[in-house]
Amino acid sequence: MSSYAVVNPATGETVATYPEITDEQLREAIGRADAAHRAWATTGVEERAEVLGRLVELYARDRQKLAEIIVREMGKPIEQALGEVDFAAAIYGYYARDAAKLMADEPIALEDGEGSALIRRGSLGVLLGIMPWNYPYYQVARFAGPNLAAGNTILLKHAPQCPESAAVMEELFHEAGVPQDAYINIYATNDQIAETIADPRVQAVSLTGSERAGAAVAEIAGRNLKKVVLELGGSDPFILLSTDDLDAAVEAAVGARLENSGQACNAAKRFIVADELYEPFTEKFTAALGSVAPGDPTSAETTVGPLSSAAAAERLEEQVQRAVDGGAKLVAGGGREGTFFETTILTGITPENPAYAEEFFGPVAQIHRVASEEEAIALANDTPFGLGSYVYTTDAEQALRVADGIDAGMVFVNVVGAEGAELPFGGVKRSGFGRELGRFGMDEFVNKKLIRIAG
């Protein structure tokens, strides 16, 4: 039986199943993508950018349909699903506008002044993208947008619970003008993916997912001398040191925790609060978070929908229970009804508690009290992860000091939800390596070829 199926997490209904690719079909797909690269890479960056521009129009045309698909697949509230479609389109639009500039030759000033030298960017070939379920369109856009613009061809392996959105994206890429074999959706098994990474025709791989999946993919890629970009988990700190508007800070904190029903790698998960603000923040944050009840993801009024699957909800429930068994205080929530999980707050989590080093993938927040800026930075860094972070303070110099001190790939100061197509996304430590989006994302899978010309 195929593992690729649309199972509506709100109802438990299996909506549709999709057959896995056969070994022979997979080998053919790799060969087709390899052959297509030769032509796609020579079409010219301007022509490839025009294709991405047409994709923006198609996403706008099918906006409602695309959003409804991922509501069915992984339970994203409809307004957030519409927002994700828009963000994915914005990413394609960014590379449609800026691809030629990002791929332009880069002159190098020579020490001896004799002759000239430049870096000319070119495609690598066939890339494998392994995508997660939590942002079905956005994650693909981060990978496919810059790499198609660069002239690479793509094999796209989506999460098993996102086969419908995966199929629709392939259709839209082709309708926009991407050649049939330059973007191929594959419903592959883990064993088949291991073989695909090892195939000499595949030049590199990008994965967004769990630490376990990242380690497995990186091991295979390393054995086969393939470049890999990994965007893994996060337990992002939200550091509140001072504020002249506590209500606004609380509102930002709630938004930072509940995006995508709390199922975002770069969501704020650990709230680190200065001693003098701890009590009022905890009171207001508990009231605000507790006022958000999980609901029907098809309703425009819903902020938190179901978790992505019954297994995800059960894992989160077990995590919360382990945290409490380890000495944490359950301030609010903790209940589960099927895949719907209450907004939950934990305090008193010590380094000895298993929860201290874990990522909670759902609407569960931890609150910590600190006595100083230095203690806040130390606590923020005392995690295996290093993806994003948030710093709230009225002191501009303190903001930069704290930003410099945090071990993370991204720091947002006095703002949440400020990601953009032009801003690089990625982490350090066990949150992975490499960058997506912006010019740094464009540079991950290109050959930066040196051309040195005599005087």
For the four alpha carbons of 88, 93, 96 and 100, in that order, the dihedral sign comes to negative
- Residues 96/98/100/106 CA torsion (nearest 10 deg): -160
237: closest CA among 279, 262, 266?
A: 266
Contact assessment for residue 127 and residue 203, using Cβ atoms and an 8 Å cutoff: yes
Transcribe 322-353 into DSSP letters. HHHHTT-EEEE---EETTEE--EEEE---TTS
Catalytic residues: 231, 265
207: closest CA among 108, 140, 262, 258?
A: 140
Q: How many CB atoms lie within 10 A of CB 396?
A: 10
Q: Where do we find the tokens 């905890």?
A: 282
3-state SS assignment for residue 391: strand
8-state DSSP, 134: S
Q: How far apart are the first and last CA of the chain?
A: 65
Question: What phi, psi does 282 have (nearest 5°)?
Answer: -60, -40
Distances (CA, A) of 195 to 26, 129, 201, 422: 10, 14, 11, 34
For 81, the enclosing helix (H) or strand (E) is helix 78-102
3-state SS assignment for residue 266: coil
Instruction: Look at phi and psi of residue 260 and say left if phi exceeds 0, alpha if psi is from -120 to 50, else beta.
Output: left
